[in-house]
Amino acid sequence: MTNDAPWSALRRFTDARIGLGRAGAALPIKEVLSFAMAHAQARDAVTTPIDWAPIEAALIKHGLYSQRVDSAAGDRDTYLRRPDLGRRLSPASRQRLAAAEHTNPGLLIVVADGLSSTGVAANAVEVIAELLPLVRKSRWTMGPVVLASQGRVALGDDAGEVLGARAVLVLIGERPGLSSPDSLGAYLTFAPRVGRKDGERNCVSNIRAGGLGAKAAAFKIHWLLREALRRGLTGVALKDESVYQLDDGTAASRPALGR
């Protein structure tokens, strides 16, 4: 085996596959097995059905009620081949949601399995728990937490339109990488309605234990939501400047350009 110590020393700074070393003309067997494991975890994240029961139970402990819905995709194979169907509620789910109480909320939270049930199971409740005190402090009304199976980001537009939400936050399992099968994404849309474009959303990504922590993610999400509601927009016109907000809520000075 060759000595790749200069590269391998850098591995502590990243989950990326660098400095793997060599065994003759091939990778060391340890790295081959590690790659196979990571690939299997990524496949499991995509194909394992999500179990909503523990998430529902955890939400109840935080004083939140939830409602399950399905996208128009119907099953996992269809969901993977027809992204357009994952963006819309099934007719039955749309009808049930329309009959829900607490319409016209200031904020609607949608949790969708997306492409990683692992990421949702590991992170969604923790993010909501960190976000909840900030939401209550801001006195935003909330609708039911919508739990969407076979859902994509734009399903939040459909659910938000049905309930008349002022803003929707979609927490969704991100497409798994070979070092991050458990990542959660957060997408925010002001005045959600069917037909919104991706450029009209803000995204906070890579929420997981090895990435952006739940508390830091909740802080960013709350800042973006507050500014979205104040300015009446989300998307490319709303930049994340939460880094300039101090812990006491006051604004920090920005560094001068060119430094």
Q: How many residues appear in the chain?
A: 259
Strands 145-149 and 66-70 turn out to be: parallel
Partners of residue 251 on adjacent β-strands: 245
CA separation for the pair 68, 94 (Å, rounded): 11
Amino acid at 176: P
**What residues contact residue 235 under an 8 Å CB cut-off, 6+ apart?**
189, 197, 199, 200, 201, 202
Q: 130 labelled as ligand-binding?
A: no
User: What is the rounded (10 degree) CA torsion for 211, 11, 39, 152?
Assistant: 20
Amino acid at 153: V
Q: 153 labelled as ligand-binding?
A: yes
> Which single residue is written with the structure tokens 């969407």?
148
Which candidate, 116, 204, 126, 112, places its Cα nearest to that of 158?
A: 112
Q: Which residues belong to the annotated binding site for adenosylcob(III)alamin? A: 153, 174, 203
